[in-house]
């Protein structure tokens, strides 16, 4: 049996050190060309930081949306960092 020394996790931890790092990565994956309102497709928005999970408010129709909506993370009570760690382990060569 081969012992896992944890070296496979180093690239992950160098990319995602915090909840903020994970949220920024999720936002970049969800909107690679910048924010697009899911209701009216307008591309200008306000960033609302008054909550734990950031909200984006469309500059045209005022619809508010979270980067988590429409993803596997919607409705989760776990920190994104835990989810990202689990996904990284799952996607490692050889699996979990």
CA dist., res. 29 & res. 4, Å (int): 30
Q: Is residue 5 part of a domain?
A: no
Q: Is residue 18 part of a domain?
A: no
CA dist., res. 96 & res. 75, Å (int): 25
Q: Is residue 24 part of a domain?
A: no
Structure tokens at 43: 């591309």
Q: Is residue 64 part of a domain?
A: yes
Per residue of the chain (96 residues), give pLDDT as tens: 444 545 455 567 778 899 999 999 999 999 999 999 999 999 999 999 877 889 999 999 999 999 999 999 999 999 999 999 999 888 877 666
Q: Residue 66 CB: number of other CB atoms within 10 A? A: 19
Q: Is residue 6 part of a domain?
A: no
Residue with tokens 């129709």: 61
**Claim: this prediction has a pTM higher than 0.85:** no
* Domain enclosing residue 94, as ranges: 30-96
């Amino acid at each position: 049996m081969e012992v896992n020394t944890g070296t496979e996790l180093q690239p992950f931890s160098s990319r995602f050190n915090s909840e903020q790092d994970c949220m920024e990565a999720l936002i970049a994956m969800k909107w690679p060309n910048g924010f697009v309102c899911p209701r009216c497709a307008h591309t200008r928005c306000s960033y609302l930081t008054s909550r734990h999970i950031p909200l984006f408010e469309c500059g045209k129709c005022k619809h508010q949306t979270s980067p988590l909506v429409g993803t596997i993370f919607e409705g989760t009570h776990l920190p994104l960092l835990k989810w990202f760690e689990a996904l990284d382990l799952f996607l490692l060569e050889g699996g979990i």
